[in-house]
Amino acid sequence: MSNNGKYMWWKHGVIYHIYPLSFYDSNDDGKGDIPGIIEKLDYLSGLGIDAIWLSPIYTSPMVDFGYDVSNYREIDPVFGTINDFLQLLHEAHSRNIRVIMDMIMNHTSHLHPWFQESRSSRYYNPKRNWYIWHSPKNGRKPNRWKSAFGGSAWEYDKSTKQYYLHTFLKEQPDLNWWNTSMRKAFFDDIEFWLKLGVDGFRFDAINMIVKDKKLRNNPLFFDYFNYKKKLATRNQPGSYSIIKLLRKLLDKYENKVGIGEIYSLPPGNSKISASYLGNGNDSLHLTFDFSLIFRWWNARSYYKCIQNWYDHIPDKGWPSIVLSNHDLYRSINRFGIGLHKKEKAKVAAVLLFTLRGTPFIYYGEELGMKNTKIARSCIKDPVGKRYWPFYSGRDKARTPMQWNDQQNAGFTNAKPWLPINKDFIENNIEKQKDNNDSLFNIYKTLIYLRKKHKPLNAGDWKPLIYGIKGVLAYSREFENETIIVVLNFTSARKNINLKMNEEMKILFSTHPKRSNKIQLENLQILPFEATLIESRI
Ligand code: GLC
């Protein structure tokens, strides 16, 4: 194991992603909050996770639900107070759970005092260049850069007669990372949290923070290959340099982690995601690769995708494994149309916890929470509002956690900020806890096994069956211990030969009734079975 066999929390552990507005409401205003998270720490510790990552909880007008920050050193009253946060840190740490915050460096809220000052005048304004301002070009927008949320990325400011850039909403003006005074002020804000004892950050849209200085246009969308390669608004050399400085800042403190959200176009470009790991110890510790998320349910396609991700990881680097988050559909809704979703979710769980890399769980995935249908009048996500009825937005995967079958799924006693999925009566944590065969208990067992067996949390990965005929098998090896993982992606029984004669022991199977002793040269795998086989009897 790296670090002289020491268990490193961000590398060998499991990270749980909380969307705070939807986790647990402690004060009955219909919205989740920090004291609510504190109340649920025992639940999280029982699940066995090592760290929580909180989507943003800073002061915000909530136009993009916290991803538009107006003060990076304060907690938004919706979530509680700074004292609540300090208590969360303390309580989490005392249970050996680390706390990772979201850090949004690409943009601030339009209500951030820096932007207010920046837009106040064009000349003799020390903060004017903290954001990206340009004069009209021939009476028009400076170029044709597009906002990720639709429309132009430029907004005209009548009073100073210039445009400012916004990669997302117009209420999220982009910071100018070429400006060293802004950089220093921002790094001070980051350090503020490090000094308080936060264990790391998930850096939002970090591959977009620096844009082409010459404002070159992006290729048109239908120019697919150039679009893939040459975006003037992402993956600029400047972003890589800033990330190296960020790493230096994190390294001033012990045991901190920097995780990058690397969103590529088209999504899921493992090479680009891996490039932000630098040489493995000078850039981000972990980056997200979304390629598995954009895959059809198919063993071969999953295999290719995983292999491709690993091929790009630098020698000293470490992968992350992510199957869902707050911007995308719930994973269970993506595992193909039709039947067997629950069975597929179990196979996916085994994959998540047995691949090489740090697994991320998005809250509710441990019980297979589904997308929730949101009526138009209830849509909160600005992207959903903009694109309805073609796309109803991201709310469907952000609905309240389903704790039990009581009123509002035990999330709140008030009207919840987003509707609760109607299946909560059947599908909730309390119910699944009592059922040995539930997805929740599978998550719990797998997290336990992953922690216990070094091959699973730190070992090498060797593919054995490359997704042919719907089966993916691989081994994880560490010193003299080997664990073989076999995943059947199909509804048919499969006979496979792993070309090893030793008799081995089943460590775990999604089919609890399968017998314990097996022969590797003639192994029958049940429909949608995922199993872990140990080489030490
Ligand atoms: C990231 C976040 C997303 C947010 C956007 C703008 O992609 O994950 O939720 O809307 O950045 O900050």
The three state secondary structure string of 35-98 is: HHHHHCHHHHHHHCCCEEEECCCEECCCCCCCCCCCEEEEECCCCCCHHHHHHHHHHHHHCCCE
Q: Give the ligand 1 atom nearest the CA of 67.
A: 12
* Chain-centre distance for alpha carbon 236: 22
Is 101 strand, coil or helix?
strand
Known catalytic membership, residue 84: no
Known catalytic membership, residue 204: yes
Query: What is the residue with the minimal CA distance to atom 2 of ligand 1?
Result: 204
And the tokens for 276?
């932000």
Confidence (pTM) = 0.97
Ligand 1 pocket, mutate which of 22, 65, 72, 168 (most atoms under 8 A from CB): 168
CA–centroid distance, residue 262 to ligand 1 (Å): 11
CA–centroid distance, residue 66 to ligand 1 (Å): 9
Query: What is the residue with the minimal CA distance to atom 7 of ligand 1?
Result: 205
CA–centroid distance, residue 513 to ligand 1 (Å): 43
CA–centroid distance, residue 67 to ligand 1 (Å): 6
- Name, in order, each residue with C-beta under 8 angstroms of 378's C-beta and a sequence gap of 6 or more: 395, 418, 419
CA–centroid distance, residue 462 to ligand 1 (Å): 35
Catalytic residue among 25, 84, 204, 395: 204
Residue type, 195: K
Q: Residue 421's CB: how many other CB atoms inside 10 A? A: 20
Nearest to 27 by CA among 429, 414, 399, 405: 414
Ligand 1 pocket, mutate which of 58, 64, 391 (most atoms under 8 A from CB): 64
Query: What is the residue with the minimal CA distance to atom 5 of ligand 1?
Result: 67
pLDDT at 518: 76
Residues with CB under 6 A from ligand 1: 64, 67, 104, 168, 204-205, 261, 263, 326-327
pLDDT at 537: 45
CA–centroid distance, residue 490 to ligand 1 (Å): 34
Residue type, 295: R
pLDDT at 512: 81
- pLDDT profile of the chain (537 residues), mean per 10: 74 99 98 99 98 98 98 98 98 98 98 98 98 97 95 97 98 98 98 98 98 91 66 94 98 98 87 97 97 93 97 98 97 86 97 98 98 97 97 97 98 98 98 96 98 97 96 96 96 89 85 76 91 80
Pairing, β 200-204 against β 517-519: unpaired
Ligand 1 pocket, mutate which of 65, 67, 110, 263 (most atoms under 8 A from CB): 67
Catalytic residue among 64, 84, 261, 381: 261
Query: What is the residue with the minimal CA distance to atom 9 of ligand 1?
Result: 327
